[in-house]
């Protein structure tokens, strides 16, 4: 393992805004912050918004800067990438951010019912093979997990350059009778004027340079 990556893993253990629990401990003991993020960590009652598969945390940090009266938590399994988001938050003195290193499959161990108001999924692995469709972060399997902690009015955003994943999600939303709020297959030539345009991830910037179109949708889970 490169020395730089080892250093980042070691520094992650010292960051006050980055949380990681070994899988067996998480299953056996749970997370003490579950149901207590407002009181114990953020020390306010502002809405909590997740960025799942956050990578370097571009959305987490960008939105936290823009909306100081909201709380943002980036979630990813890649420790070296999370290091960048956690470090950026510390350097910018952001008190409304946190990061969790875990598999998305276990995310409901960290949040109680109605504790999260919004979810962003930005450029996830499209898992193109049909046999791996259950691994897509917006699939019925994962939506059932999100429903355990998302508020009834909570929304989910998806940004992706992968048209097949986008169309799969649209069909799934229709079949599961969720509420589709916005959709476009060409975000930057649409009239959508939300945060979805104002903040770009590393991969999005690269895809745009390559001339790829960005797909976007926003929806709400049925009760």
Taking the domain 3-220, which CATH number applies? 3.40.50.150
174-197 pLDDT per residue, tens? 999 999 999 999 999 999 977 888
Q: Where are the beta strands (DSSP E) in 18-149?
A: 18-20, 48-52, 71-76, 97-101, 116-122
Please give the average per-residue pLDDT across 5-10, as a whole number: 88
Judged against a pLDDT cut of 90, whether residue 3 lies above it is answered with no
Instruction: Note the pTM of the prediction, 2 decimals.
Output: 0.95
Enumerate the active-site residues.
Answer: 125
The ranges assigned to domains in the chain are 3-220
96-116 pLDDT per residue, tens? 999 999 999 999 999 999 999
Q: How many CB atoms sit inside 10 A of residue 182's CB?
A: 15
| Tokens read off for 90 | 């510390």
């Amino acid at each position: 393992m490169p020395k730089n990556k080892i250093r980042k893993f070691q520094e992650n253990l010292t960051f006050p805004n980055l949380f990681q629990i070994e899988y067996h401990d998480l299953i056996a003991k749970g997370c003490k912050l579950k149901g207590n993020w407002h009181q114990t960590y953020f020390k306010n009652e502002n809405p909590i918004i997740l960025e799942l598969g956050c990578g370097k945390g571009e959305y987490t940090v960008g939105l936290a800067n823009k909306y100081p009266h909201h709380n943002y938590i980036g979630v990813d399994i890649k420790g070296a990438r999370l290091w960048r988001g956690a470090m950026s938050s510390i350097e910018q003195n952001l008190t409304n951010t946190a990061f969790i290193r875990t598999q998305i499959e276990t995310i409901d161990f960290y949040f109680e019912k109605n504790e999260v108001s919004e979810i962003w999924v930005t450029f996830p692995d499209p898992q193109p093979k049909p046999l791996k469709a259950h691994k897509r972060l917006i699939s019925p399997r994962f939506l059932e997990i999100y429903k355990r902690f998302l508020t009834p009015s909570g929304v989910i955003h998806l940004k992706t350059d992968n048209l097949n994943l986008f169309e799969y999600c649209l069909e799934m939303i229709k079949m599961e009778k969720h509420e589709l709020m916005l959709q476009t297959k060409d975000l930057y030539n649409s009239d959508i004027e939300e945060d979805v345009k104002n903040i770009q991830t590393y991969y999005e910037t690269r895809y745009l340079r390559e001339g790829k179109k960005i797909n976007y949708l926003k929806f709400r889970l049925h009760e």
